[in-house]
Amino acid sequence: MTRRRQIYEGKAKILYEGPEPGTLIQYFKDDATAFNAQKKGTINGKGVINNRISEYVFTRLAHIGIPTHFIRRLNMREQLIRQVEIVPIEVIVRNVAAGSICTRLGLEEGQPLPHTLIEYCYKDDALGDPLVAEEHIACFGWATQEEMQDISSMAIRINDFMCGMFAAIGIRLIDFKLEFGRQFDGDFSRIILADEISPDGCRLWDIETGEKLDKDRFRRDLGGEVEAYQEVARRLGLLNEGGENEVLDLDSHRRRKGK
């Protein structure tokens, strides 16, 4: 097997050099982190499920005209993606109060927000990804005004689409994070959606019961992380009823064989 050159390793994914210029291979790990990597663990099979879910969501978003870095899924844990220059801003889209906004503003978890709220964080793990305003982004040149208009416009469109997509399968989209990157063509660049969209970066609650179907199960030691991720994939039609164990067992076998 040809040894690939590793470009970057993050908390949940590894990026390798792609087969063609301007491409990368994105590998999904089972590693789980929370609270800016202060808590670490493993969710068995998470990478396989996140790969499938992110492929599905990015493909659906492309159909409504959202430009993304996704090209195609290569195997159970890898995607071929376009190489981009990541904008150092994490975009958080909130529909319902949960997580850090409750701590910061004294809100009750589950309280609907008056309208969709977009927050921005500066991507720097050492600083704890601090919350920033658009004035900070402009002042320090992290993104231009035109780029921020594209980012905020796409974030709202993505939220509208995903709220409907998840509601159709009985899931309430509480909040989620997005990352964007610059795709270059000579001196010209455009903003496209990058990273992933999966239960790692979304808060997903069952509409009827309020059961958490996302990484909050790991953050809060609720247990059942694997089952929650599988349930999201199953409702999206990505796993056959009762077939998820076969998928994960096959993945484990391939990794033991080094394939």
The string of pLDDT tens digits covering residues 182-195 is 999 888 999 999 99
The string of pLDDT tens digits covering residues 155-203 is 999 999 999 999 999 999 999 999 999 999 888 999 999 999 999 999 9
Q: Which CATH superfamily is domain 6-84+230-243 in?
A: Phosphorylase Kinase; domain 1 (3.30.200.20)
Dihedral of alpha carbons 107, 224, 159, 48, sign: positive
The string of pLDDT tens digits covering residues 29-70 is 999 888 776 788 999 999 999 999 999 999 999 999 999 999
H/E stretch holding 101? helix 100-105
Q: In whole angstroms, what is the distance from residue 66 CA to residue 58 CA?
A: 8
Please tell me whether the overall predicted TM-score, pTM, comes out greater than 0.85 for this model: yes
Q: In whole angstroms, what is the distance from residue 147 CA to residue 192 CA?
A: 10
- CATH class of domain segment(s) 85-206: alpha beta
H/E stretch holding 246? helix 244-257
Instruction: Tell me which residue has tokens 């430009």.
Output: 67
Q: Facing residues of 6 across strands? A: 16
pLDDT at 28 over 60: yes
Q: In whole angstroms, what is the distance from residue 249 CA to residue 246 CA?
A: 5
Domain ranges of the chain: 6-84+230-243, 85-206
